[in-house]
Each structure stands twice: as C-alpha cells, then as structure tokens.
Structure 1
Amino acid sequence: MPALNAPRAHWASRFGFILAAAGSAIGLGNIWKFPYITGQNGGGAFVLVYLACIFLVGLPIMMAEFLIGRHGQRDAVGSFAALEGKGSPWCLVGWGGVLASFILLSFYSVVAGWSFDYIFKALTGGLSGRSPDEINALFGQLVGSAGQVIFWQALFVAGTVAIVIGGIRGGIERWSKILMPVLFLLLLLLFVRGMLSPGARAGLEFMFRPDFHKLTPAALLDALGHAFFTLSLGAGTMITYGSYLDRDADLFSLSLRITLLDTVVALLAGLAIFPVVFAAGLEPGAGPGLVFQTIPIVFSGLPFGSLLATVFFILLAFAALSSSISMLEVVVAYLIDEKRWPRLLATLLVGAAAFLVGIPSALSFNRWAEVTPLFGKNFFDLCDLLVSSYMLPLGGLMVAIYAGWFWKGAEEKAELVGPTRRPWLFPLWHFLLRFVAPAAVLIVLLNQIGILTG
C-alpha cells in the first residue's frame, strides 16, 4: 500500500520553489539548444513565434501540471490516482512521465558530462592558444573516447544523486538556491561581455529584428516544439514539484514567474553568444556544435579567453544539473510515495540504473556509433527522438486534454483562481487548455510522425 497517510514534505518557501522549478525548466535547452536553433531559423521572427508559443501553449500546460500535482499531493502516478482512482487509465499519463524522465536522465547526463570535461579543459588552459582546427579536434577526441565520455557521465549522475538524496528542502531546494543565483550571475557576466563586443549590434539585430521571409513552416514547428521542451513539460517534473506545494500557493503567479525566468535565460544566452560569434565572423547557425566547438574558438581569441570559457562551461553545467535533479526526483518520488521506499535507497538505485541505461548512449559517439537498432538511429539519437519528439509532447497533450475536458471537479477552478482573485483567469486558461494547446501539440506530434511533411 502507498504511504497515503505519511506527512508530505513541502517547499520551505515560495522563492525556493520558484528557483527549483525554474531550474528544472532552465537546462541545456536554454544555454545550448535555443541559441543554435535560433541561428538556424533566422533569428528575430523565430524568437517572436517562440515567445508566443511559450505563453499560449507552455504556460497553460505548466499551470495544469502544477494543479494536478498540488491537488493530488503525490508523485506523477499517484496524483492521477488520487484524482481518478488507482485503476484509472489516466494513471498511464503519470507512468509515461516517470518513464520519460528516467530515459531523459540516462542520455541527458551524457551531454551534460561534456560540460564537466570542458570546465576542466578551460581551467587547465587546454582551450587557449589553439587553432580552430585543434579546438574542433578536441571535441572529436572527447566524444570519440568511450572511457572519457562514461567517466564524465558518471560524475554528472553522481552529482545529481548527491543533491536529490538530501530531499526537497535539504537537497533540491537548498541547492537550487545556490545553483540558480550563480547561474544568473554567470550569464549576466557573459551577457555584459557580449554587449561590449564589436558584434553587439549585429547580435541584437539578429535576435530582435524579425525578418518573416526567413520564417519557414519548419521554423514554426521548431519554435513550438522547443517552447514545449524548454519548460520541462510532459515528463512529470512539474506534477511532482507541484505536489510539494501547499494549498495556498498562487499557481498562476508562480507559473508566470517560472516561465519568465526560463524565457529571460534563453534570450540572455542568445545575447551572450551571438555578439561574440558575429564579432569573430563565424556562422550563428552552426548547429549543435555552436557551444562545444564554435564558442571555444571565439573565446580562444578574446582577452581573458580561458576565464570566459571557464565561466561559460560552469554556467552550462549548472543549468544541466538544475534540470537533472528534477528528472531524478520524478522517479524517486514515485518509489517513495507508491512503493514506500526510503529516499536514500530509491535515489541510489535509480541513479545507478539511469547511469547503466545511459551507457549505450555514451557509446553511440564512439564504439557503437554504427549500431543502429531502430530507424537507422544510434542509441543516443533513438532515446532523444523517443523522449523529445514523442513522449514529452504526448504527455503534455494528455495533461491538457485531462485538465481541459475531463477534470470536472469544482476544486479545479477554486484552486486555480481562488475565491475573489482574477475572475478572467479560469475562462482564459480553460480555453487555451481545451483548444489552443492540444491543437498546437498535436501539430508537433503529426509533424514528427511525418504526416504533415510527408
């Protein structure tokens, strides 16, 4: 039997919750992925569409996930069971979130581990005084070495486990109050450096002067898909974090602040990166290699380049760590709430399992690069495709459908709006959740399946 009567831990403060939930949303998607997909899709017009998707699709679904978690006061599976009964098919949505978070952690830790390696390289001067070809070769040497990739992956998972073992207040909230302010400080330093570079004007124009001729249908879908992914939706994380909220929390205000923080970080990351890229005469749409290949080349030619590179990769590592702890917590919370496992045992075993399951993804860049079990994709690309393109959008779609169409309880409106606050909020939220968000997410899913591009 689940520990239904056990006292549930709650966040010590609203500020701590905001930092933890924002940390879950702010990850490699903001610092690594957003700048390069903005570069690939032409800049300003893409940014406008992305912002519209964040607030019209992402924010309503985030509010729904918080609402489900807070009302259920249990993990992602248990919250649906509390609302609909233990045998309800809706519990499958929670199960999907638990599975998605586990798979995501397994391969996310591989890329996150690279940031640890680059911190070491930057601190020891390994990136300074090198030609662009040499810096590109360094990245190839890293991912080509199974031993190195697995070592840094293991170190990253160990760091994630060490934080989650401490629990909600002593682990996740405590470290979020350290990681997130430092992350913002480092990002602001890099932003100021970018604004002082000769490419500042070009970077600002690229980010904020929309050219709608560059906005292709593929760019629209990229904006919608990334807006959904970057808010950490569909993986049970916000349901789980919401379950540690007390009944008096203002969900709209909290969700809006978290969404704004996530968006500001993505924009600042672009404004930190594009000016120095333009100043160096390099290509802003360099793709995934923008962070691990193009940025080190840029920093190597700047005064205090090693220091700037160190700051940047510490920023990247902190962003990755703040997200990974939420992924691990989703699975750990399920084992604690539903199986009555002690936190220490649950965290250690899930962390070890995620590391082991992630080894094929780590080997996908070297020894198993030619192993393509399904659809011609290696293990890493297959896990990324499964989670990012299918499981997360499907999870978010089901949350929107459930909260918009099937959760008929009066408590839904009462918990969201409160007795007298914002009478306009529930009708607007319900409309977006019933019609706009499901339609948008369904378009992303159909595109991934190939029906729209087909």
Structure 2
Amino acid sequence: MSAPTRGGWASRFGFIMAAAGSAIGLGNIWKFPYMTASHGGGAFLVVYLVCVFVFGISLLLAELVLGRMAKRNPIGAFRKLAGGAWPAVGALGVVTALVILSFYVVVSGWAMAYFVYAVEGTLTTASSGELNALFGHLVSSPIVPLIYAALFVLLTAVVVIGGVAGGIERMAKLFMPLLFIILILLMVRSLTLPGAGRGLVFFLHPDWSAIDGHLISAALGQAFFTLSLGVGGMITYGSYMADTQDLGRDALSVVALNTMVSLLAGLMVIPAMISAGITPDAGGPGTTFKVLPTVFAAMPAGNLFGIGFFFLLILAALTSSVSLLEPVVSFFVDEYRMKRANATVIGASFCFALAIPVSLSFGIWHHIQLFGLTIFKLMDFLTSNLALPIGSLMTALCVGWVVRRAAVDELSNHGRIAAGWAPIWLFFIRYIAPIGIVWILVQGLFGL
C-alpha cells in the first residue's frame, strides 16, 4: 500500500501565515505585555528583540531546514537525516506537542466561554468580585470547561482534516489577516482612552537598571518559546515547503510578524489597564480572564472591546492548536501510512483524553498533586522547563554538528540563491544557541 499524499503549501504567503499563526498565541496577547511591563519596559523590549532575531530565528531556521530536507514528520526527519538515537528527539517533540495541546485546549475553552459571556453582556455588568467568582465557577466546574474544550478540539480537528493547503493554509489566510485587523482596532481604541499615555510610557520607557540575569533569561525564554520551537511544529511545517522557497527570507518574515503581534498586544493591553487604574501584576491565563474584564467594564463601549478581545484570543489559540496537532497527524500519516482523517481523529482523541484531568485539576481533582503541583501545573512545568528546552537544544546540536554541511547547502537551495550569511547562522546554531538554551534550562529548573 502506498503512502498517502503528504500535501504541501499552495503558496509562500500561505506558509508564512500558517507559520506565524503557529507562533502567535496566548503568550503573545497576554504574557508578552506583562513580561515587558514587569521587566523594565523598553529595556526588556530591546533585549527581547536582540534575542528573538539572534537566537529565535536561528532555531526556527534549524527546524525548517530539518523538515524541508527530510520531507518527513519530526521523528522521520531525525531518523532520515541523523539516524541512531536521534529519532528520540523527534518523538519528544511529538509527545510534547500533544501534552501542550491538552492543556492549551482547556485554556482556549475558557476563551470561548468568555466570548459568550461578553456577547451576553455579563462581563461589563458584573463587579470585580463577581468577575473573580465567575472565573472560579467556570474553571472548577467538572462539565462546562470540558464542553468548551471538546468544541475547541473539534474546531482544530476540522481544520487539520482539511489538509495542508485545503485546511491549515486556507484557515491561516483567512484568520491571520483578521487577527491583525482586530488587534490593530483594539490597539487604537486602547490608545485613545483617558490616561492611555501613561500606559504607553509604562510599556515602552526603558529602565536600564532592570537589566540583569533574570531579565535576560526571561527575554531568552520568550524569544525561544514564542516561536513554537521544540515541539516539532516548525519541522512539520518545513516538510511541506517547496524546494524553491527562500528559507532565510521566509523565516525572517515569520519572526517579524510574531514580534509585531507581541508589540501590538502590548500597546493594546497595558494602556487599557493603566487607563482603568490597574497596574499589571502576576501574568498568566487566569489573570487574563479575571483582570481584563474589569478593564472592559471601566471603559466606554467596553463590551465591544471585550467581544473583540476574546474573539482575538480564540483566533490566536486556534492557529496555534492546529500547529500542535499537525506533528502528531503527520507522524501517523508518514510512519503508519494512515489516512489524514483517521490520524486526526486519533490525535484529537488522545488530546481530549489528556485534557480531562487537566481541566478537573482546577476543580474536583485540585487535591491531586505531585511535588506540590496540580496536574495542570505539573504538565506545564514538564513541558516548559524540561521538554521544550531539551528538544530545542538537541535540535540545535543535530543541525549544527551532525547535518551541518547539508543544512548550509539547503539554505542556499543547493546553490540556486545567495546565502552568504549561512556560516554566521551555523556559528550561532552550533555555539551561541545551545549556551542560551542551557541557561534557560538551568534557570527553569533551579531558578538561579
């Protein structure tokens, strides 16, 4: 039996939109503004931009190169190009993608619930205490969050079943421009609020004295992980790229779009919060749902702002969740010659099965803990602090030391385009990127 057709991107624009959508998610819309505001404002921005265009783009290129050279899923790519024990790195990425997706759909389900609340007008009529209670009631419910999570898994599966060009690319071409339009409209509205200028200064003004090891680590971590690296998604997306695409140019476009969304999100969230008299404090998805509705309630036509914001979150979450499910589907298609629809159903089913204990860990299973962490926090810790850094580190080492000559050749499309910068990239992927990743790994494990 012949292997099913893997498919490929129908256009360069489609790939860039899909890859940018993979990188853009909840971390851009909330985490980046908070981290910037709490780590020296403009000082963090400068360090982050350096990290993302030096470290982030190096690792993104490494994954895209692996994928396009091998034309396989992450496990198959490492097996074909490096052999030996290297396929274990791909397996780690596929498993990590599935685990992250399992709690990503839970948080995305919250966004869907809050979109419904915003449409109903609940968010702008409730008091601050009532909003806290609303969030607590939602996440602790054993049924409601799972219904929304199941709906989000279904939406993700429908897109992935449609194929690379017919599903993922078509969605990206529609949703990503829409995401930018909504984000820009919300940013403009935020910047016109009374007192928004103070928020702009709070977000952009550099506090150079804040630059220390912790700030640099935070900026490095944001740069690495905001680009969806270490989960095999970019290897998989790279495997669908045409041999004529300019890898360097396209990777730079993806990084630029991802960074632009982060900056726009900061210009949207921080001025709105300062205008409402709220100073950014602890970040995270829970804060997004408890604090920002208070901001919406305090602004004119805030309900429309809330509707737009949570719709924006859903769009960003969906483009990311698709890229997390696709490596799993690609694995079953490549390795077991499975039909895409069947592979998607299996992957989505595994995801939802894992999402059940994650969701219940906010409620009736909150008492189930290991090392003092709930199921959700444990899975988040294992993926963010261990699996992602290790996967990125091993990818850098494989590309930089094992397949380096073939990788440099691939960047020039086998001599058809100029890539005089390739040796510089190779130096960073061999030496600089691994040092940065080890630093993040140590910081994440020991908080040094």
TM-score (norm 2): 0.96
**1: CA distance between counterparts of 2:358 and 2:422?**
43
**In structure 1, which of residues 43, 46, 49 is the aligned counterpart of residue 44 of structure 2?**
46
Q: Paired residue for 2:290? A: 293
**1: CA distance between counterparts of 2:355 and 2:139?**
14
Deviation string, structure 1 residues 295-347 (Cα, Å, up to 9, x no partner): 11011121211111000000001100000001101100000001111111110
Q: 1:8 to 1:150 in 2, by over 3 A?
A: closer
Q: How does 1:14-413 map to 2 (within 5 A)?
A: 14-85=12-83, 88-288=84-284, 289-372=286-369, 374-409=370-405, 411-413=406-408
Deviation string, structure 1 residues 131-175 (Cα, Å, up to 9, x no partner): 222222211111121211111111111111111111101111111
Contact 1:2 1:337 in 2 (8 A): no
1:425 aligns with 2:405: no
CA drift of 1:35 comes to 1.8
Amino acid at match of 1:74: R
Contact 2:408 2:423 in 1 (8 A): no
Q: 1:390 to 1:214 in 2, by over 3 A?
A: same
**2: CA distance between counterparts of 1:423 and 1:245?**
18
Contact 1:40 1:287 in 2 (8 A): no
**2: CA distance between counterparts of 1:142 and 1:309?**
18
**In structure 2, which of residues 409, 412, 416 is the aligned counterpart of residue 414 of structure 1?**
409
Deviates more, 1:428-437 or 1:252-261: 428-437
**2: CA distance between counterparts of 1:381 and 1:364?**
9
CA drift of 1:358 comes to 1.3
Q: Over aligned residue pairs, what C-alpha RMSD do you find?
A: 1.5
Unaligned runs of 5+ in 1: none
Q: How many equivalent pairs are there?
A: 446
Deviation string, structure 1 residues 219-240 (Cα, Å, up to 9, x no partner): 2212111211110000000000
Does the residue aligned with 2:229 lie in a helix, a strand or coil?
coil
CA drift of 1:422 comes to 4.1
Deviates more, 1:12-21 or 1:203-212: 203-212
**1: CA distance between counterparts of 2:141 and 2:44?**
36
**1: CA distance between counterparts of 2:384 and 2:352?**
19
**2: CA distance between counterparts of 1:144 and 1:216?**
38
Deviation string, structure 1 residues 351-396 (Cα, Å, up to 9, x no partner): 0111011111101111111110x21101000110111111111111
**2: CA distance between counterparts of 1:270 and 1:199?**
16
Unaligned runs of 5+ in 2: none
Does the residue aligned with 1:146 lie in a helix, a strand or coil?
coil
**1: CA distance between counterparts of 2:425 and 2:36?**
28
**1: CA distance between counterparts of 2:425 and 2:385?**
25
**2: CA distance between counterparts of 1:323 and 1:222?**
21
CA drift of 1:2 comes to 8.5
Deviation string, structure 1 residues 27-68 (Cα, Å, up to 9, x no partner): 111112212222332322112211111111110010010000
**2: CA distance between counterparts of 1:193 and 1:116?**
22
**1: CA distance between counterparts of 2:2 and 2:361?**
39
CA drift of 1:412 comes to 2.0
Deviates more, 1:304-313 or 1:191-200: 191-200
**2: CA distance between counterparts of 1:37 and 1:148?**
31
Amino acid at match of 1:220: I
Identity of aligned residues (%): 46
**2: CA distance between counterparts of 1:445 and 1:235?**
16
**2: CA distance between counterparts of 1:199 and 1:251?**
43
Amino acid at match of 2:172: S
Misfit runs of 4+, over 6 Å: none
**2: CA distance between counterparts of 1:247 and 1:420?**
10
**2: CA distance between counterparts of 1:130 and 1:38?**
29
TM-score (norm 1): 0.95
**2: CA distance between counterparts of 1:392 and 1:213?**
30
Contact 2:66 2:77 in 1 (8 A): yes
Does the residue aligned with 1:89 lie in a helix, a strand or coil?
coil
Deviates more, 1:240-249 or 1:422-431: 422-431
**1: CA distance between counterparts of 2:6 and 2:159?**
19
**2: CA distance between counterparts of 1:413 and 1:105?**
32
Does the residue aligned with 1:15 lie in a helix, a strand or coil?
helix
**1: CA distance between counterparts of 2:380 and 2:248?**
31
**2: CA distance between counterparts of 1:421 and 1:203?**
45
Amino acid at match of 2:321: S
